[in-house]
């Protein structure tokens, strides 16, 4: 998969209503939806961090500040630098919401709940987990998880790109 295809997949996943725009509301609903599905209360400290991280991502993506991110804006923005500076904390914050026992790793149940919370199809959850759990110990570490998403976002080359919970398929 090339970079533009990977970006297109991610953009489509974030444009929940399919109108060709990632609205501020659509994007900021992600941590809320994840927290609700993962049983986190509205005043959970991890949810506060997730909200802040997502606000930062949206402000960074929305180059002209009109509250709407077009594909042109997204495409120009997405890359290694934006991933490391603003995406990584947001994705990490979702990981932390899902890490129920706080050990810095997701087991299969935690991982599956996170995917579900972010609206990914359940059919390939097993394959996705197996691909990420490279040493087969039943856990996916935070760094490994974020590194896989980074490689997909920045060069489209993650070995299990279609199964990552970025929602990308194909
Ligand atoms: Ca939309
Ligand atoms: Ca905009
Ligand atoms: Ca855990």
Tens of pLDDT, residues 22-40: 999 999 999 999 999 899 9
pLDDT at res. 45: 95
Residues with CB under 5 A from ligand 1 (ion): 15, 17, 19, 21
Q: Report the C-alpha gap between 141 and 119 in whole angstroms.
A: 21
Q: Which residues of the chain have pLDDT under 70?
A: 157-170
pLDDT tens digits, 85-113? 999 999 999 999 999 999 999 999 999 99
pLDDT at res. 166: 47
Parse the chain into domains and list their residue ranges: 3-155
CATH number of 3-155: 1.10.238.10
Q: Report the C-alpha gap between 143 and 75 in whole angstroms.
A: 25
**What's the 104 CA to ligand 3 centre distance in angstroms?**
6
Q: Report the C-alpha gap between 160 and 149 in whole angstroms.
A: 10
């Amino acid at each position: 998969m090339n970079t533009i295809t990977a970006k297109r997949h991610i953009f489509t996943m974030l444009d929940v209503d399919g109108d060709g725009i990632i609205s501020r509301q659509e994007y900021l609903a992600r941590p809320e939806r994840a927290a609700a599905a993962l049983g986190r209360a509205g005043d959970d400290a991890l949810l506060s961090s997730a909200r802040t991280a997502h606000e930062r991502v949206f402000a960074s993506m929305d180059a002209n500040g009109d509250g709407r991110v077009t594909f042109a804006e997204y495409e120009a923005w997405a890359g290694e630098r934006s991933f490391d500076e603003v995406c990584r904390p947001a994705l990490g914050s979702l990981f932390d919401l899902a890490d129920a026992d706080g050990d810095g790793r997701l087991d299969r149940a935690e991982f599956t709940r996170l995917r579900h919370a972010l609206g990914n199809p359940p059919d390939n959850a097993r394959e996705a987990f197996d691909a990420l759990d490279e040493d087969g110990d039943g856990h996916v570490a935070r760094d490994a998880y974020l590194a896989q998403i980074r490689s997909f976002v920045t060069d489209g080359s993650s070995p299990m790109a279609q199964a990552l919970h970025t929602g990308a398929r194909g």
